[in-house]
Each structure stands twice: as C-alpha cells, then as structure tokens.
Amino acid sequence: MTETRNLSQTFMERALEAAEAAAVRGEVPVGAVIVDPATGDILASAGNRTEELSDPTAHAEMLAIRDAARLVGAPRLVGCDLYVTLEPCPMCAGAVSFARIRRLYFGASDPKGGGVEHGARVFDHPTCHHRPEIYGGIDEARAGALLREFFAERR
C-alpha cells in the first residue's frame, strides 16, 4: 500500500507541475497525467490550454487522453490511470468513461464545476458506459492552493 501511495504522489507531482506550467501561460492551473500502471510509464501529460487554443474542450484531461490514445493507437486506454489536479468536469468525466480509464486520481474537489463527486456525478448514472475506480484528495491542499492563488491574483 505504501508503494502505491508513493507512486500516486509521484504521478500527482507530475500533474501539479503541468498545472503550474498552465498557470504561467495564463491558463487555469489544472494538470493531468495518464499512466500505464503495468510499466509505470507516463503516456501523456498536459495542462489546460483553453485560452491558448481558443478551445473550450482543451482541458488538461482531454488533452492528455487525446495524446495517450494517439500514442497507443487506440481510442480506449484500458488499464491506464489518470491523475488530475482538480475533480474533472462533466465533459472530462464523460471522456474518462469513453476512454475506459481504469482509475481516476484527483487532487482538489470542485463543488462548482465538478462532474464526479459534485454536480452531474457522471459515473453514478445508469447509462454511464464505464466507471473507473475513483480516489480523490491526492495532494488536495497543494492543488487547491494553486487554484486559489491563481484566482486571487486575477481579482
């Protein structure tokens, strides 16, 4: 269990680095990493790029899923894990389901825009295609502080 926790921290650290890079670019600081747990390889890492790309779907999770799917040459990422610094929104939760992500690890909860534990609760719907295992609160304090600092600077 300790080894799993250490790996979760390592991968969440990489997601937080992607979130910090997004903040530097003026994007909402959310980062995501997709991991093949069988090898421990990071398949994709991304931070939000909605402003840069003028694309409302360019959330960190969506970009990481797209990159990982391209890398493996398949639309499904069966057996892969997603680490993201913020609870995914309903759009991203839907993509997680369609991609067949094995486990979803997230940092801060998102009571306003979340789609996993809040709001739409995408995985709780009977029509949901696939429900990943969900682990919230991974490095939650740091992920939440990064978001609070980002928005405080803009007010």
Residues noted as catalytic = 61
- Residue 60 near residue 19, CB atoms below 8 Å: yes
Q: CB-hemisphere CA count at 13 Å for 3?
A: 2
Q: Which of 9, 12, 28 is nearest to 20 (CA)?
A: 28
Task: Name residue 64's amino acid.
Answer: A
Residue 31 burial by Cβ neighbours in a 10 Å radius (0-12, 13-18, 19+): buried
Task: Give the Cα-Cα-Cα angle 50, 51, 54 (nearest 5 degrees).
Answer: 75
